[in-house]
Amino acid sequence: MRLLQARQRPVQALGQLLAPWLRRSAAQVFARAQIDWAGRRSCLALSFDCDFPEDAQAIPRVVELLGRHGLVASFACVGRWVEDYPDAHRAALEGGHELVNHSWSHPDLVNSARHFVSARTDLNPRPWRALSLVEQLAEVSRCQDAVRACLGYSMTTFRVPHFGHADVRPLYPHLTALGLTCSSSVLAARARRLGLPGWEGALMEIPITSCPRHPYASMDSWHALYAGGGRHRQDFAGLVTSQLRRDDVTRGLTSLYLDPKDWERLDFDGLFRCLARNADGRWVTTLRQLAAWWACRYPVGPAAGGR
């Protein structure tokens, strides 16, 4: 686990060598499960990580674009930005979308000239891994309280900050006590069933889809635009489209996440147009809805959804 969590070039190079094998293995897992995805051939769970205040401020624009294409999504929100920009987050709820607990301050959030520089300088640079379990749970609990107080909304899904670096497993036994029933905090290539949702005790984990070419990185806008100088600046939409086509064949699930602040750089309007295709055959849903459906169909224990 520590080896896979290390963001080192040798690990990414190894991932590229393993990519074809991992794609085949994941396809076999889904093909064997033969999930009907609420009567559809495949499933797309689209989410947005609102790490920076600029992400929060961009939520209304993203909601507008989602509505234009008839898509629903989950917004992983940071409690302090909810307190500072309540109307922006309220726009997501009014658009029929989900809010996800992404901690109160998003520790390990820094301004980087190579990646992104926020207008705010009061970010929390302390690494999530440096927090004790008690401190981590306080971050989660405070976010729950902030969203409930500001918006009157109770979140049921959690995403750990910087999940590529973090081990969410110690939190699992404690999240349900905070009203959380689902997590989306593990990369598919590191998950026990390569992207298939599964139970962790009483909590469900919905893995985040790995990049098909760089399996130890997620298929997201940060990876596309910033990692390694921008690994998929030119071909991200094509990469996502190819992934969705594979899902249609294997009855697979893609859990894709984007950063709202990148809505222009990555042409969300064009990307959402691609995601909305095959609406009859693909179930586009929120993490909350997917977890509720999975829990009814595959309670803790059965082969398709069990441990």
256-288 confidence digits (pLDDT tens): 999 999 999 999 999 999 999 988 899 999 999
Question: Nearest Cα to 33, choosing from 186, 196, 191?
Answer: 196
* Separation CA 149–CA 108 (nearest Å): 25
Quote the DSSP letter at residue 72.
Answer: -
* Separation CA 23–CA 246 (nearest Å): 10
Pairing of strands 198-200, 42-50: unpaired
The two structure tokens encoding residue 153: 């909304």
CB 118 within 8 A of CB 175: no
- pLDDT over 60 at 254, yes or no: yes
Backbone angles phi, psi at 183, to 5 degrees: -130, 145
CB 101 within 8 A of CB 139: no
Residue 18 lies in a domain: yes
Residue 24 lies in a domain: yes
The predicted pLDDT at position 302 comes to 43
Residue 304 lies in a domain: no
The predicted pLDDT at position 6 comes to 43
**Structure confidence at residue 163 as a pLDDT band (50, 70, 90):** confident
The number of domains in the chain is 1
> Once rounded to an integer, what is the mean pLDDT over residues 99-124?
92
The two structure tokens encoding residue 185: 């905090």
Q: Pick the range with the lowest mean pLDDT from 41-50, 97-106, 177-186, 216-225.
A: 216-225
- Neighbouring residues of 218: CB distance < 8 A, sequence distance ≥ 6: 163, 164, 187, 208, 209, 210, 211, 257
* Separation CA 285–CA 302 (nearest Å): 23
b/e sequence 91-113, b meaning 16+ C-beta within 10 Å:
bbbebebbbbbbbbbbbbbeeee
b/e sequence 15-32, b meaning 16+ C-beta within 10 Å:
beeebeebbeebbebbee
Range of the domain at 222: 2-297
- Neighbouring residues of 223: CB distance < 8 A, sequence distance ≥ 6: 211, 214, 217, 231, 232
Q: What is the pLDDT of residues 228-252, one digit of tens each?
A: 777 887 889 999 999 999 999 999 9
Residue 306 lies in a domain: no
The predicted pLDDT at position 16 comes to 59
Percentage of the chain lying above the pLDDT 70 cut: 91
Average pLDDT, the chain: 89
Residue 195 lies in a domain: yes
Tell me the H-state helices in the chain. 2-5, 9-33, 53-68, 79-84, 86-94, 133-151, 172-175, 221-225, 236-250, 268-275, 287-297
- pLDDT over 50 at 115, yes or no: yes
Residue 105 lies in a domain: yes
CATH code of residue 214: 3.20.20.370
Residue 228 lies in a domain: yes
